[in-house]
Amino acid sequence: MPRRFLKRYMPSPERIKQSKSLRFMGSMLHDPNLWHLNRHSVARAMAIGLFVSMLPIPMQMLVSACVAMPARANLPVSVGLVWLTNPVTMPMIFFAEYKIGTMLLGAPERSMPMELSMTWLASEIHHIWQPLLLGSVLLGAVFAVAGYAATMLYWRIWVGRNWQRRKMRRRHQN
């Protein structure tokens, strides 16, 4: 994984440590392992961020950060990935998770209204929560494993390619 590319888009540790909204975390943010860009910390961050992004819960960024810290995963990557489920993509993702959950549970599918509302959600939540939660956890686990494996593989390929390039340059210099 190209470190320069990731570093270009990541906020600096100092900037995050000085953030007023994150002061409650205190010295936990000072662990240098949370900011390292290496194969293992980024792969763990991918797994955590992808898993949490698939959960239908509020405050996904906080959950991702709280899981990333003890796992020694790269904090900015982990927290940034939860934005895969943003207001534009969230309805489609949660609907797919619900469909997967109903299929696995063999539960009858509830009809969706043309326009979602809090009233509809409050009246139907007791019917849809189990399939939605099952689909969310399953899809999150699949994405987490795939993201971890893909990151580890891509990083290994990237490093191998760089070693080959260096080897070729040394041959041409001699």
**Residues 6+ away with beta carbon under 8 Å from 133:** 56, 101
What are the two backbone dihedrals, phi and then psi, of residue 129, each rounded to the nearest 5 degrees? -65, -40
Work out whether the CA dihedral 149, 152, 154, 156 comes out positive or negative. Answer: negative
So what's the pLDDT on residue 160?
Answer: 86
So what's the pLDDT on residue 2?
Answer: 57
Mean pLDDT of 66-83: 91
CB atoms within 10 A of CB 76: 22
* 15-51 tens-digit pLDDT: 766 666 666 666 676 677 777 788 899 999 999 999 9
So what's the pLDDT on residue 118?
Answer: 73
| Least confident interval from 2-6, 77-81, 100-104, 165-169 | 2-6
Q: Is the pLDDT of residue 119 over 80?
A: no
Cβ atoms of 67 and 104 closer than 8 Å? no
Between 82 and 16, name the one with better pLDDT: 82
Bin 109: left if φ > 0, else alpha if -120 < ψ < 50, else beta: beta
**Residues 6+ away with beta carbon under 8 Å from 152:** 39, 43
* 85-115 tens-digit pLDDT: 988 998 889 889 999 999 999 888 777 666 6
So what's the pLDDT on residue 35?
Answer: 78
Full-model pTM: 0.78
* 122-148 tens-digit pLDDT: 777 788 889 989 999 999 999 999 999
Buried b (16+ CB within 10 A) or exposed e, 117-135: eeeeeeeeeeebeebbbbb
Amino acid at 164: Q
